[in-house]
Amino acid sequence: MLKRLFDIVFSLIGIILLLPLLLLIAVILKLESKGSVFYKQVRVGKGNSDFKIFKFRTMFVGSDKKGLLTVGDHDPRVTKTGFFLRKYKLDELPQLINVFIGNMSIVGPRPEVRHYVNYYSADDMQILSVKPGITDYASIVFRNEAELLKEAENPEDLYINTILPQKIALNKKYINSASLLVDLKIITKTILTILG
């Protein structure tokens, strides 16, 4: 209950304070390229249930059909504004809506698409016992994930066999030590990582 109250208050304050920035980003995206301001993607949440995650659209319309992974800082599918939004994680801000309505938390394992959840072992499924979050340990450790994938000969293979297992381990670490204090530490580290 305390975590849910924290999520409601934090997300509501965030939406109100960031409203001018959110509107500005929306206008720029609308002027730059065709398509919706928001990108809604199906992810897997608590209880192994699918839900739609909100993001600012950073790719040209239809680009997600060309692959699930974003590779490097020169992925041609990403718009100019999209690169900036991704660099500073501003594309994730609409997920405050997900937090407010209750299918996400501020802190929790980042939700995967079903394709990658299918690689989870029976033990890994414990990750789906909690709400997914906007940020977590893995978001901090793999801040440069797109660059790692860009250098790989086979990005999909690198993600499935190297990055995903490490993310799973970090998610289990969070679940086994979750507390409001841990959440505050992760939020602080996330902000420092983005600004650093």
> Is the Cα torsion angle 51, 6, 109, 144 positive or negative in sign?
positive
Residue keyed to tokens 């993600």:
159
- pLDDT, residue 77, reads 82
Name the nearest CA neighbour of 10 among 135, 105, 149.
105
Q: What is the pLDDT along the chain (196 residues), one digit of tens a residue?
A: 889 999 999 999 999 999 999 999 999 999 988 889 999 999 999 999 999 999 999 988 776 666 656 665 567 888 899 989 988 889 999 999 999 999 999 999 999 999 999 999 999 999 999 999 999 999 999 988 888 888 888 999 999 999 999 999 999 999 999 899 999 999 999 999 888 7
Write the single-letter amino acid at 32: E
Put simply, whether the predicted model's pTM sits higher than 0.85 gets the answer: yes
